[in-house]
Amino acid sequence: MPALPSLPEGLEGLETLRVSVAAAVGSSCVVEVSLNRPQQLNSLGASFCREFPLCMRALDHWSPCCCVLLTAAGPAFCCGAEPAAAAAAAAASTCCSAAAAAEPHWEPASPWGRPGGASCCAIPTPRCGAAQQQQQQQQQQQQQQLEAALSCLELLQQPVVAAVSGPCVGAGLELVCCCDIRLAAADAFFSAQELQQGAPAAAALLQRLLRACSSSSSSSSSSSWAREVCCSGRSFAAAEAQQRGFVSAIFPDKETLLAAAGALCLSFAAEGRGAPAAAKGALQQPPRAPLAAAAAAAAARAAAAADAAAAAAAEAAAAAADAAAALQLPYLRRTLKQQTLQQQQQRSSKALAPTFAKL
């Protein structure tokens, strides 16, 4: 059995990820990247957004790495994104409580709103509005950081295999959408329920889910299904995911899943880095590339036709100029003859001037 190569510097001792060389074939190896926050159900937060791009860039430039296996520690694959505005929510709660103690900071919504006829902050006040605005800004900032981190996985040259067991929710679903191949255990289920809680990720998740299901037998039905899942936020089991082409295979338990995923990654590594990376690059081309090429060729032909028309117009203009010059030639000849006669008369007059003077 070949010795496992050492990982690049900076990939050990990470807070949210456990990175290890799972197997090796010759000079090629499989790198396992595991979400490693089981007590937090592997939620994706600021630390993940900081560490994950560094990990992906390091593996992208590490020549022994031919395939990446994405797994998760614990019973849950990923419960979604960390609450982006936990601090803001706490601040808002503190704001309301302190203000209520100092002065009334609530407005009566209606006599039937709550017991007592009032609802705390039922009508937004400037103080609560500022806290809500701060919370929204933090949510948007976290979403931007998360999208940037997930984009690093999509840009990775090596193929990525995701082995999913247990719940995979929200941002976790978007994470596995960025992988090239998805395998699942029988207990796996997926959900976009974060979208129902106001997370501003619907557009990115929908596009990634559509791409992940684009290879299924009926692309139109998969498109409708992906939209339904994102709009409703409902859960779907591994069997439904396989039916829609989202996962390739289902295994009875996590142990069997990891063994099968490792064997698949090892088969990629046996091909070396070049072939799997080239295949992934070819598959990532836009599906309408032939149409785009045809459109470019048509544009080139139109440009050539325009150049030919311009050249013809230039030739016509030159011919017109020659014709105009030809029409002016007799006039020029007459003018020159008249000038010559005038000069001859002037010379004759000068020559005869002394003779006339003697007379």
Q: C-alpha angle with apex 127: 124 to 132, nearest 5 degrees?
A: 70
Give the dihedral sign, CA 92/16/251/224. Answer: positive
Indicate whether 198 and 145 sit together in one domain.
yes
Indicate whether 71 and 180 sit together in one domain.
yes
Domain end call among 262, 284, 306: 284
Which whole number is the average pLDDT over 186-198? 79
Higher confidence at residue 98 or residue 223? Answer: 223
pLDDT at position 137, please? 77
Taking a C-beta distance cutoff of 8 angstroms, is the pair 95, 102 a contact?
A: no
Residue 239: partners with Cβ closer than 8 Å, 6 or more residues away = 250
Domain contains 9 = no
pLDDT at 163 over 90: yes
- Beta pairing, strands 28-35 & 17-25: antiparallel
pLDDT at 347 over 50: yes
Q: Per the structure block, which two tokens stand in for 135?
A: 């919370």
Indicate whether 145 and 40 sit together in one domain.
yes
Domain contains 355 = no
In which band, very low, low, confident or very high, does the pLDDT at 250 lie, cut at 50, 70 and 90?
very high
Indicate whether 70 and 99 sit together in one domain.
no
pLDDT at 235 over 70: yes
Domain contains 310 = no
Domain contains 309 = no
Element spanning 293, H or E: helix 289-358
pLDDT at position 72, please? 97
Indicate whether 151 and 269 sit together in one domain.
yes
CA distance 119 to 117: 7
Indicate whether 202 and 250 sit together in one domain.
yes
Domain contains 307 = no
Domain end call among 96, 122, 139: 139
Q: What's the full length of the chain, in residues?
A: 359
Helix axes 202-212, 219-232, angle to 10 degrees: 150
Helix (H, G, I), strand (E, B) or coil at 164: strand
Residue type, 247: V
pLDDT at 37 over 70: yes
Domain contains 331 = no
Nearest to 158 by CA among 279, 55, 19: 279
- The least confident of 59-73, 140-154, 317-331 is 317-331
Domain contains 96 = yes
Indicate whether 121 and 151 sit together in one domain.
no
Domain end call among 250, 284, 318: 284
Q: Which residue has the tokens 């080139």?
A: 300
- Beta pairing, strands 235-237 & 189-191: antiparallel
Indicate whether 80 and 90 sit together in one domain.
no
In which band, very low, low, confident or very high, does the pLDDT at 9 lie, cut at 50, 70 and 90?
confident
Indicate whether 71 and 102 sit together in one domain.
no
pLDDT at 123 over 80: no
The pLDDT tens digits for 280-299 are: 888 775 544 444 555 566 66
In which band, very low, low, confident or very high, does the pLDDT at 355 lie, cut at 50, 70 and 90?
low
What is the DSSP secondary-structure string of 20-48?
EEEEEETTEEEEEEEE--GGGTT-B-HHH
Indicate whether 45 and 120 sit together in one domain.
no
Nearest to 13 by CA among 51, 40, 46: 51
CA distance 96 to 106: 8
Indicate whether 50 and 190 sit together in one domain.
yes
Beta bridge partners of 21: 31
36-41: long-range contacts, CB 8 A cutoff, minimum separation 24: 36/73, 37/73, 38/72, 38/73, 38/74, 38/75, 38/76, 39/74, 40/79, 40/82, 41/74, 41/76, 41/78, 41/79, 41/167
**Domain assignment of residue 127, given as a range:** 86-139
CATH number for the domain spanning 46: value is 3.90.226.10
Domain total of the chain: 2
Domain contains 10 = no
What is the share, in percent, of the chain residues with pLDDT greater than 70?
70
Residue 170: partners with Cβ closer than 8 Å, 6 or more residues away = 78, 79, 80, 81, 191, 192, 193, 194, 195, 199, 201
In which band, very low, low, confident or very high, does the pLDDT at 192 lie, cut at 50, 70 and 90?
confident
Q: Per the structure block, which two tokens stand in for 250?
A: 């289902």
Question: Across all residues in the chain, what is the average pLDDT?
Answer: 77
Indicate whether 181 and 275 sit together in one domain.
yes
In which band, very low, low, confident or very high, does the pLDDT at 147 lie, cut at 50, 70 and 90?
confident
Element spanning 154, H or E: helix 126-154
